């Protein structure tokens, strides 16, 4: 079964939301994510297009501007809350790791 | 030198990987896809090169759209941003290509890709289920009759054709759906690990099914002896092809003229309905006119190998003898009925028989059982008695000159119903009078060589 929608954010979802914490053109997010992650994370145009649609539908982002086909979006309260939740989950993972191996990675 | 070419490959609806690989192969050969339609894909000549392709599905779009919808155009702009150019589109399908050596894929999330195919599947699967039910009823019904009543099953050309088509429909539908759902299950598991799973469709099976269906049609035309039925079926088939071509032509012309999707749908459907009524109605009208004016018959004009008049010595004219013949590569069946002519005042003893020539030895026993069992069941339903009280019993075959002979026994009384067996030949005969030894010899002599 596919995972429930946005129950846990994938890395690509996480960075798309992160980029939209400030008003941003959807298409530009495609370039910003590799720049932000040193090319570690790349989001394909089809995936980005679908994610933007789904985030709007889930009211996690909202459209702010539309110039021709260039649409800009910004994170909503709901989206921010979801992003925070994901951040805490990742932090908890980090804490769990450190409890096991220590901060420098040695047990 | 050719600058365009067309091909039709019946890819499974979900097999985007198969389509992409094929398009990459075509580009290496110097062909770029530029048009998609129900009649196939059209290519234009290009410099042979290594290109990457991606096939995307959008179920919101209609096949009648003259141009990509606003959503599709936005999607294309997203794709263009990372070097993906639109090669061709048709309603719900868009094909992109990329000239870079290692481009950023259009989909980088495997779950998104599964969802995209899943949306298309939700549209297509109900149609498959209709095909499966139809195929099961037609094909399954024919298989049951092939086991229980092989003579009837094999000598009804339309039945053979429908049975075969039903089986093909069921087989392809079932296999394609199983392959799709297997891929989906495995792709979802792979997506949990962040991996993509390529699709693998069933278009090769489709070719086999199409070949079998074409052979079925050839078989039908070869076996169907009635010129009227040939005309009717051939005419209907031709009408269907004309309607299909006209429908696609109208849709394409309207798209070229940039008519709206709604207008295109309305005009195309209108042309389809009008043409269907005119052509199908025209063929049916011509058929009835032909039958009425004797241009062609719907019955075979074949003489009976044996008539009641041969046995009781009355003038043949006094009898109305009807013969129906079915000839197939597996067996031939002749059904003869001799009854008193309508213009006769005196009632004459009648006779009827079914003569079966079996060309394939392994169905001989099944044919024998059918001829015996049918009469037993018929008799049982008349008498409302248990089946055990009616049956064929072996009798002396010598008077008939046959290898084996059986006579029908109803509650201890022998009836004038016989089953006579020769190698490759079985006859079921019923007479209204007690046959003499001489008459039996005549029957045996005439039917043995028929």
In the structure, what pLDDT confidence band is assigned to residue B313 with cuts at 50, 70 and 90? Answer: confident
Q: Shortest Cα distance from A53 to chain B (angstroms)? A: 10
| One domain, residues B78 and B24 | yes
- B389 pLDDT above the threshold of 70: no
A30 in contact with B, Cβ within 8 Å: yes
Domain boundary among B265, B297, B329: B297
Exposure string over B92-129, b if 16+ CB within 10 A, otherwise e: bbbbbbbeeeebbbbbbbbbbbbbbbbebbeebbeebe
Q: Once rounded to an integer, what is the mean pLDDT over residues A61-71?
A: 90
Asked if the C-beta of A45 comes within 8 angstroms of chain B's C-beta atoms, the answer is yes
Q: How confident is the model at residue B90 (pLDDT cuts 50, 70, 90)?
A: confident
Domain shared by B335 and B231, yes or no: no
B135 & B201 share domain: yes
Q: Does A39 touch chain B (CB under 8 A)?
A: no
State which residues form the domain around B207: 107-224
- Return all residues near B146 (Cβ < 8 A) that are at least 6 apart: B153, B154, B163
Query: So what's the pLDDT on residue B155?
Result: 82
**What mean pLDDT do residues B374-397 have?**
70
DSSP A106: -
Q: What is the predicted pLDDT for the residue at B314?
A: 81
Looking at residue B344, its pLDDT comes to 79
Residue B104 and residue A42: Cβ atoms within 8 Å? yes
Q: Between B81, B109, B192, which is nearest A47 by CB?
A: B109
Q: Is there a contact between A45 and B84 if contact means CB atoms under 8 Å apart? A: yes
- Domain co-membership, B343 together with B410: yes
Q: Could you give the CA distance from residue B365 to residue A107 in angstroms, rounded to a whole number?
A: 81
CB distance B300 to B334 below 8 Å: no
Within 8 A of B190 by CB-CB distance, chain A residues are none
| Residue among B330, B393, B340, B323 at smallest CA distance from B363 | B330
Mutate to test the interface with A, among B107, B122, B184, B194 (most CBs of A within 10 A): B107
Confidence grade of residue B43 (pLDDT, cut at 50, 70, 90):
very high
Per-residue pLDDT band at B303 (split at 50, 70, 90): confident
Same domain, B232 and B150: no
Enumerate the residues of chain B whose CB falls inside 8 A of the CB of residue A10. Answer: 109, 111
What distances in angstroms separate CA A72 from CA A19, A31, A62, one per listed residue?
11, 15, 8
- B310 with B391, same domain? yes
If pLDDT is split at 50, 70 and 90, which confidence band does A104 have? confident
Pairing of strands B4-7, B40-45: antiparallel
pLDDT at B18: 96
Q: Which residue of B has its CA nearest to A11?
A: B109
B108 contacts A44? CB cut-off 8 A: yes
CB contact under 8 A, B81 and A12: no
**Model pLDDT, residue B136:** 95
B256 and B385 both lie in a single domain: no
How confident is the model at residue B382, as a pLDDT? 64
Whether A45 sits inside 8 A of B78 (CB atoms) is yes
Q: What is the pLDDT of residue A52?
A: 95
Question: B104 to chain A, minimum CA–CA distance in Å?
Answer: 6
In this model, does residue B378 exceed pLDDT 70?
no
Range B52-63 average pLDDT: 90
Q: What is the pTM of this model?
A: 0.81
Model confidence at B383, pLDDT cuts 50, 70, 90, reads: low
**The residue count for chain A:** 107
pLDDT at B4 > cutoff 70: yes
Tell me, yes or no, whether B288 and B305 share the same domain: no
pLDDT single digits (tens) B125-169? 999 999 999 999 999 999 998 888 888 888 877 888 889 999 999
Domain's final residue, options B79, B98, B117: B98
What confidence score (pLDDT) does residue A46 get?
94
Strands B425-431 and B351-358: antiparallel
The reported pLDDT for the residue numbered B298 is 54
pLDDT for position B146: 87
Q: Answer whether B151's CB lies under 8 Å from B355's CB.
A: no
A27 touches chain B (CB under 8 A): yes
Q: Is residue B404 within a helix (H) or strand (E), and if so which, with residue range?
A: strand B404-410
- The shortest C-alpha distance from A56 to chain B (Å) reads 14
Query: DSSP string of A40-96?
Result: S----HHHHHHHHHHHHHTTSEEEEEEETTEEEEEE-HHHHHHHHHHHHHHHHHHHH
Instruction: Considering only the beta carbons, identify the residue of A10, A44, A69 that sits closest to B107.
Output: A44
Clarify whether residues B214 and B244 are in a common domain.
no
- How many domains does the structure of chain B reveal? 4
Select from B76, B98, B120 the last residue of a domain: B98
- What's the pLDDT score for residue B156? 79
Please state, rounded to an integer, the average pLDDT across all residues of chain B: 88
Q: Would you state the pLDDT for residue B388? A: 54
Return d(Cα A15, Cα B195) in angstroms, integer. 19
- Considering only the beta carbons, identify the residue of B106, B115, B116 that sits closest to A45: B106
The C-alpha atoms of residue B287 and residue B229 are separated, in whole angstroms, by 8
Q: Which residues of A touch B105 (CB under 8 A)?
A: 44
Q: What are A4-55's pLDDT values in tens digits?
A: 677 788 999 999 999 999 999 988 999 999 999 999 999 999 999 999 999 9
Please give the distance of CA B115 from its chain centroid, rounded to a whole number: 34
Query: Who among B70, B105, B116 is closest to A44 (CB)?
Result: B105
**pLDDT tens readout for residues B249-300:** 898 899 888 888 889 999 999 999 999 999 989 988 988 888 787 766 655 5
| B247 shares a domain with B285 | yes
**Residues B333 and B442 occupy one common structural domain:** yes
Could you tell me which residues of chain B have a Cβ less than 8 Å from any Cβ in chain A?
54, 56, 70, 73-75, 77-79, 81-82, 84, 104-109, 111-112, 114-116, 188, 191-192
* Mean pLDDT along residues B236-240: 90
Q: How many angstroms separate the CA atoms of B2 and B217, rounded?
A: 34
Grade residue B39 by pLDDT with cuts at 50, 70 and 90: confident
- Using the Cβ of A49 and the Cβ atoms of chain B, whether some distance falls under 8 Å is answered with yes
- In a shared domain, residues B220 and B255: no
Provide the shortest C-alpha distance from residue A88 to chain B (in Å). Answer: 22
Shortest distance, CA A101 to any CA of chain B (angstroms): 25
Q: Which residue of B has its CA nearest to A53?
A: B71
What residues are paired with B353 via a beta bridge?
B336, B429
* Four-residue CA torsion sign, B309, B315, B321, B327: positive
Among chain A residues, CA nearest to B186: A1
Q: How far apart are CA B205 and CA B10, in angstroms?
A: 10
Nearest-CB residue to B73 (from A10, A48, A69): A69
CA distance B249 to B233: 24
**ipTM value:** 0.89
Instruction: Write out pLDDT tens, residues B165-187.
Output: 999 999 999 999 999 999 999 99
Identify the closest residue of chain B to A67 by CA–CA distance: B74
Lowest mean pLDDT among A32-41, B21-30, B308-317: B308-317
- State whether residue A3 sits within 8 Å of chain B by CB: yes
Nearest CA to B395 out of B375, B409, B377 is that of B409
Contact A3 B111 (CB under 8 A): yes
Q: Which residue do the tokens 């060589």 mark?
A: B449
Residue B376's Cβ-side half-sphere holds a number of Cα atoms within 13 Å equal to 18
| Residue B38 banded pLDDT, cuts 50, 70, 90 | confident
For residues B429 and B385, which has the higher predicted lDDT (pLDDT)? B429
- How many Cβ pairs within 8 Å bridge chains A and B? 66
């Amino acid at each position: 079964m596919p995972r429930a929608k946005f129950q846990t954010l994938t890395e690509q979802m996480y960075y798309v939301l992160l980029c939209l914490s400030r008003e941003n053109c959807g298409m530009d997010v495609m370039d910003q994510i590799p720049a932000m992650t040193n090319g570690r994370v790349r989001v394909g145009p089809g995936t980005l297009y679908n994610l933007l649609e789904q985030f709007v539908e889930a009211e996690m982002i909202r459209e702010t501007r539309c110039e021709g086909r260039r649409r800009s979006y910004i994170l909503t309260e709901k989206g921010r809350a979801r992003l925070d939740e994901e951040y805490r989950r990742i932090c908890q993972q980090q804490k769990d790791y450190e409890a096991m191996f220590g901060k420098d990675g040695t047990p | 030198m050719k600058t365009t070419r067309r091909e039709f490959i019946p890819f499974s609806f979900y097999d985007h990987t198969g389509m992409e690989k094929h398009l990459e192969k075509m580009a290496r050969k110097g062909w770029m896809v530029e048009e998609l339609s129900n009649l196939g894909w059209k290519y234009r000549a290009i410099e042979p090169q290594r290109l990457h392709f991606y096939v995307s599905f959008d179920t919101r779009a209609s096949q009648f759209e003259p141009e990509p919808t606003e959503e599709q155009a936005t999607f294309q702009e997203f794709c263009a941003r990372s070097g993906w150019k639109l090669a061709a589109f048709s309603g719900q399908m868009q094909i992109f290509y990329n000239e870079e050596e290692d481009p950023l894929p259009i989909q980088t999330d495997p779950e998104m890709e599964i969802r995209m195919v899943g949306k298309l599947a939700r549209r297509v699967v109900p149609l498959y289920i209709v095909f499966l039910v139809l195929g099961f009823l037609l094909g399954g019904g024919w298989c049951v009759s092939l086991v229980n009543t092989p003579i009837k099953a094999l000598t009804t050309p339309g039945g053979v054709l429908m049975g075969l088509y039903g089986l093909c429909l069921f087989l392809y539908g079932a296999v394609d759906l199983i392959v799709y759902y297997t891929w989906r299950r495995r792709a979802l598991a792979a997506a949990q690990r962040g991996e993509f799973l390529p699709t693998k469709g069933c278009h090769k099976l489709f070719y086999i099914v199409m070949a079998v269906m074409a052979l079925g049609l050839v078989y039908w035309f070869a076996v169907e002896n009635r010129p009227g039925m040939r005309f009717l079926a051939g005419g209907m088939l031709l009408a269907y092809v004309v309607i299909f071509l006209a429908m696609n032509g109208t849709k394409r012309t309207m798209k070229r003229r940039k008519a709206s999707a709604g207008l295109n749908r309305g005009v195309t459907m209108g042309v389809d309905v009008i043409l269907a009524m005119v052509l199908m109605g025209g063929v049916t009208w011509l058929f009835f006119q032909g039958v009425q004016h004797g241009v062609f018959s719907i019955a075979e004009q074949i003489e009976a190998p044996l008539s009641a008049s041969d046995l009781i010595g009355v003038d043949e004219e006094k009898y109305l003898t009807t013969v129906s013949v079915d000839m197939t590569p597996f067996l031939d069946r002749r059904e003869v009925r001799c009854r008193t002519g309508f213009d006769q005042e005196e009632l004459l003893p009648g006779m009827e028989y079914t003569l079966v020539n079996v060309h394939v030895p392994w169905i001989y026993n099944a044919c024998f059982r059918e001829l015996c069992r049918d009469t037993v069941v018929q008799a049982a339903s008349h008498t409302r008695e248990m089946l055990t009280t009616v049956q064929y019993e072996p009798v002396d075959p010598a008077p008939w000159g046959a290898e084996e002979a059986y006579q029908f026994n109803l509650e201890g009384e022998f009836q004038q119903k016989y089953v006579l067996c020769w190698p490759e030949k079985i006859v079921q005969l019923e007479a209204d009078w007690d046959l003499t030894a001489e008459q039996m010899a005549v029957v045996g002599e005439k039917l043995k060589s028929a």
